Structure 1
Amino acid sequence: MTAGTYKDTSVFPDPVYKETVLRPLFDGAKDHHVEGFRLIDRAHLVMLHETGILTIEQARPIAQALEAIDREIDVDALTYTGEVEDFFFLIEKELRARLGPDLAGRLHTARSRNDIDHTLFKLGLKDRIDSLLERLVRLAETLASVAERESSTLIVAYTHGQPAQPTVFGHYLSAVLETLLRDIARLEAARDIVDRSPMGAAAITTSGFPIDRDLMARLLGFGRPLQNSYGCIASIDYITSTYSAIQLVFLHLGRFIQDLQFWTSFEVGQIYVPNAFVQISSIMPQKRNPVPIEHMRHLASQTVGRAQAMLTIMHNTPFTDMNDSEGESQGFGYGAFESGGRVLDLLTALVPALRISPDRVRQNIRRSCITVTELADSLVRHEGLSFREAHEIAAEVSRSVVAIGGDIAADGYEAYQEAFEHCTKRRTSIDKTQFAEIVSPENFVAVRDRFGGPAPRALSQAIAGYNQEISRIRIRMQEAAQRAQASAQDLQSRFTALLGVR
């Protein structure tokens, strides 16, 4: 049967379509975007009037009707009935009931659901990014503070899962902090992409009406309009940039969290977790389970997975306005902010509570002979050997000490003398006291006073630099918050003037 002979008696919406698509979309808009709709309607009305597209006689009753809708409708109590397609048409229906179709319809002049939707999503993302940035900066401040507190606290640093060299806990935390600051910079860059208003793009190509896109951007708290109108409704890099940045934040923090899990194990035990963060086994009374670390690890992984899913949803979609990037996808992505925020809050509380177990650190340093690298370095400096010769001597000393389960400072000197004489055919100028000093973990750290190293001066300079960067981030966040507040006040003032309220 051809379309020309088929009589379509169906009525919108199909019941299954209503329940599987329209109701979830309506509920999502109701839960996440009501305030955005409200701001866009008010800003667009102000712009239409101030550009002369609507007269005061047209704009004022629309403003009064919008105010009445806000006052009279309990959005939380709304249930989707199918009478209108979505939340946008619900507001238009309410306007028509109050103003009639002609006047009510004038609010939609020079705009489309296309530019409205992407503006809604950007407003929602900006709020969530700002909240996440606040949590990230609090964590950065915490890491800097604890790094300074622990700037002389020895730990064992691991490579390939094995004890490698001694350093200090503050140096390790500074590495985590430095990565976090780069992650914050990536999220700030993503926010800058989000902070460009699509309003005025209309469906695709802007409008023949003399709209003011700069004014709309300012009233809605955006930094500026996004220029190309096709890109306003097609370029979803504001989504991919945001979730790429989030994915990297929690991928990187997950590695730190995994170290905490490893370092708190019974066999390593160089970190002590206080009782407030420990759960006891229901059957084994001796067990102290630092399960908050496990929760952070799986929540970080969930966040990475949700962020990656957002990128996957956008993959191989057409470069145009499309549902793939809209309501339900946006709501799904918000889960990454929720789980990620929980990780950041818990990690910010846990890090200051952690304590290094000095006895276990000393034991692990002794058992693993990890200061022997400095013996090789010192032989180059004090005995004039090549590093390869010095490395061979140090390796022989290490093997001898490990074989007897000894301590290199107390038990390694005789093995050192023998290895040195065998390799160089002469006696060493380093005596036993000097040897013990060379292979001490304190000396190992102290001589590494180079840019980026763990020695006190280098580490102190690094932490000071990190604190300066954190302060600059704080200033940028405060300036953004002030601009947003000024925009909100400006919109309220102009909208109030439309209402005719004095």
Structure 2
Amino acid sequence: MEGRTHSSGSGVAEDEHSRYRSPLVSRYASKEMAFNFSEEKKFTTWRKLWIYLAKAQKDLGLAVTEEQVREMEEGLAAGVDWARAAAEERRLRHDVMAHVHTFAHACPNAAPIIHLGSTSCYVGDNTDLIMLRDGFNILLPKLARVIHRLANFAEKYADLPTLGFTHFQPAQLTTVGKRACLWLQELVMDEGNLRYARNNLRFRGVKGTTGTQASFLQLFHGDHSKVEELDRMVTEMAGFKKSYLVTGQTYSRKVDIDSLTVLSSLGATVHKICTDIRLLANLKEIEEPFEKDQIGSSAMPYKRNPMRSERCCSLARHLMALISNPLHTAANQWLERTLDDSANRRISLPEAFLTADIILSTLQNITEGLVVYPKVIQRHISQELPFMATENIIMAMVQAGGNRQDCHEKIRVLSQEAAAVVKQEGGDNDLIARIRGDPYFSPILGQLDTLMDPQTFIGRAPQQVVRFLAEEVRPILEPYRNQMEENVDLEL
């Protein structure tokens, strides 16, 4: 058992530190997501599903008594006898029947009707669907909080000019807030995708061994309406609006594809955002939060490594890779079902939600403490803006009576001289100083400061930020308005 020391039979004493534990749970994941895929949640949900089934069967006229239902509810409240369940599974080699026997031992009067008419997938698949739904319900407010923090950041820096980059080469100016909106746009798409995937989930329902409901039709002596009502009642008790009208023994594994696709897509978004932050940290323009006693490097004390963003990228790669699992699983389901999905799904489904949970919590922490260095940003602009302003200077000279071709040649020569200072001598860009020193440009010297104002190079970036936040970001946050206050303090 976890936390206990015992002999493994190999002469090695075991405790929680001598066995592998997934860092997704032991190191990173939130308590609520770790619980969502825990054995406690899984097996108590099985018991709830058996109670839902018994209640519906009783209400529809089968020989199930109120006393049996009440005994099952008391057995649920008493908790799972884990030692008995483990012993039963070792004996029976079947997890569902092990827990049927364990539950029956706690509810002897109800034992004859527990799991009546059902197949293992009644509890297995329906519980998985509940966990997927509840997992999305955990993730969506966290995603909304990231969007909220980043929206506030974008609004604050909507009109702060910064170098744009294409190919990671300096390009036309944008603003810090506009760049954040590029991140936000993808997060907004992810919110819609996750919400759609959650809302599109259905319950497997009460379908029997191969999905035909034959066992339940027999229990109700051929009454099709009661079989359909049983399915509807249990689906409603489980908190779903609909069940899948047709299934094999399992619900279609394409449902898992749909769920992990949106999570993998979220992983790509977070990876891109955190890669950008890492690049900007190298430029010393923007940094993620850095704790007072945090160490960036064991060898280089001055370093402030973007370790949170690196963690997000690292885990996002794992999340993106997980999508291959449900694709292969769905492709390899034989006829009404095959069991080679089981072991894979035990790993890939929880890990996808745990990983998504971790990267959202980490990204929220990052976005709550992003540090911007406007003076560094301005210095970088000043190194590149003279080259970007040359077309404006040419047009001003033409308006002052100059010849475009002559002006172009003058600026070409001066630009190459200034570029040589930057690249070969490591100096500052002195193009504007060279222009000021050339008598040819005397007609426009009074305009140079205006022509070099970074605000004239950012186009409609501030206006785009304002409109985007108002029309596409703030409205989607409205359903989460009562869940916005929670902050994230990372333990590691």
- 1:218 to 2:227 alignment: no
- 1:369 to 2:385 alignment: yes
SS at the partner of 1:49?
helix
- 1:206 to 2:213 alignment: yes
- 1:136 to 2:139 alignment: no
Deviations 1:370-409 (A, max 9, x none): 77178369949x969xxx9999779837545433445578
Measured at CA, do residues 374 and 138 of structure 1 come closer, stay the same or move farther in structure 2, by a change above 3 Å?
Answer: farther
In the aligned structure 1, how far is the partner of 2:133 from the partner of 2:438?
62
Structure 1 residue ranges without an equivalent (≥5): 1-27, 419-426, 479-502
Deviations 1:70-125 (A, max 9, x none): 24454455562223343432343246557779x63334334322333211110111
In the aligned structure 1, how far is the partner of 2:130 from the partner of 2:208?
17
Map of 1:497 onto structure 2: none
Measured at CA, do residues 288 and 99 of structure 1 come closer, stay the same or move farther in structure 2, by a change above 3 Å?
Answer: closer
Measured at CA, do residues 98 and 275 of structure 1 come closer, stay the same or move farther in structure 2, by a change above 3 Å?
Answer: closer
Map of 1:88 onto structure 2: 96
In the aligned structure 2, how far is the partner of 1:225 from the partner of 1:365?
58
With structure 2 as the length reference, what TM-score do the two structures score?
0.75
Map of 1:444 onto structure 2: 457
Q: Paired residues, what number?
A: 424
Map of 1:270 onto structure 2: 285
Question: Considering only aligned residues, what root-mean-square deviation do their CA atoms show, in Å?
Answer: 3.6
Aligned positions of 1:315-330 closer than 5 A: 315-326=331-342, 328-330=344-346
SS at the partner of 2:143?
helix
In the aligned structure 1, how far is the partner of 2:304 from the partner of 2:347?
38
8 Å contact from structure 1 (residues 279, 290) kept in 2:
no
CA positional deviation for 1:144: 0.6
Map of 1:253 onto structure 2: 270
SS at the partner of 1:158?
strand
The aligned amino acid for 2:374 is P
8 Å contact from structure 2 (residues 253, 329) kept in 1:
no
Map of 1:40 onto structure 2: 49
Measured at CA, do residues 95 and 357 of structure 1 come closer, stay the same or move farther in structure 2, by a change above 3 Å?
Answer: closer
CA positional deviation for 1:147: 0.9
Aligned positions of 1:278-293 closer than 5 A: 278-293=294-309
Deviations 1:235-268 (A, max 9, x none): 1122101111111101121011111111111xx2
CA positional deviation for 1:29: 7.8
SS at the partner of 1:163?
strand
SS at the partner of 2:367?
helix
Map of 1:119 onto structure 2: 126
Task: Out of 172-181 and 461-470, give the one that drifted further.
Answer: 461-470
2:477 to 468, 471, 475: 471
8 Å contact from structure 2 (residues 183, 273) kept in 1:
yes
CA positional deviation for 1:274: 4.5
Task: Out of 138-147 and 154-163, give the one that drifted further.
Answer: 154-163
8 Å contact from structure 2 (residues 54, 114) kept in 1:
yes
Deviations 1:443-500 (A, max 9, x none): 112xx22xxxx13x3321211123433235538999xxxxxxxxxxxxxxxxxxxxxx
In the aligned structure 2, how far is the partner of 1:201 from the partner of 1:123?
17
2:444 to 428, 431, 434: 431
Measured at CA, do residues 79 and 316 of structure 1 come closer, stay the same or move farther in structure 2, by a change above 3 Å?
Answer: closer
In the aligned structure 1, how far is the partner of 2:94 from the partner of 2:387?
68
SS at the partner of 2:173?
strand
Map of 1:16 onto structure 2: none
Structure 2 residue ranges without an equivalent (≥5): 1-36, 221-225, 423-427, 485-492
In the aligned structure 2, how far is the partner of 1:199 from the partner of 1:333?
20
Measured at CA, do residues 333 and 108 of structure 1 come closer, stay the same or move farther in structure 2, by a change above 3 Å?
Answer: closer
SS at the partner of 2:174?
strand
Map of 1:403 onto structure 2: 420
The aligned amino acid for 2:208 is A
CA positional deviation for 1:415: 9.7
- 1:69 to 2:75 alignment: yes
8 Å contact from structure 2 (residues 204, 250) kept in 1:
yes
Measured at CA, do residues 477 and 286 of structure 1 come closer, stay the same or move farther in structure 2, by a change above 3 Å?
Answer: closer
8 Å contact from structure 1 (residues 198, 229) kept in 2:
yes
Measured at CA, do residues 438 and 221 of structure 1 come closer, stay the same or move farther in structure 2, by a change above 3 Å?
Answer: same
Map of 1:105 onto structure 2: 112
CA positional deviation for 1:334: 0.9
Task: Out of 340-349 and 397-406, give the one that drifted further.
Answer: 397-406
Residue identity over aligned pairs, in percent, reads 16
The aligned amino acid for 2:474 is Q
With structure 1 as the length reference, what TM-score do the two structures score?
0.74
Map of 1:460 onto structure 2: 466
CA positional deviation for 1:175: 1.0
The aligned amino acid for 2:72 is L
In the aligned structure 2, how far is the partner of 1:349 from the partner of 1:272?
12
